[in-house]
């Protein structure tokens, strides 16, 4: 079977604002280079999907 797995990566940025709503608005209007990304990520969702080219599917773990 072939699947599409969604990967989520966590990051943070430091915002100076008058309140939480303003901080969220500022954060939502930044580019990805403003984010301090974590080195970790997590697979969160998986659904059957065979729409990609065969060479794009990963078949083995990169490490144990």
Q: What is the mean pLDDT of residues 8-21?
A: 97
Whole-model pTM? 0.70
Q: What is the mean pLDDT of residues 43-53?
A: 97
Would you state the pLDDT for residue 60?
95
d(CA 62, CA 56): 15
Would you state the pLDDT for residue 3?
97
Would you state the pLDDT for residue 45?
97
Share of the chain above pLDDT 70, in %: 100
d(CA 6, CA 31): 21
Share of the chain above pLDDT 90, in %: 98
């Amino acid at each position: 079977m072939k699947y599409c797995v969604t990967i989520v990566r966590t990051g943070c940025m430091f915002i100076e604002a008058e309140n939480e709503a303003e901080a969220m608005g500022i954060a939502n209007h930044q580019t990805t280079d403003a984010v301090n990304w974590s080195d970790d990520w997590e697979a969160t969702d998986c659904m059957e999907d065979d729409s990609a080219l065969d060479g794009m599917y990963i078949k083995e773990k990169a490490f144990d």
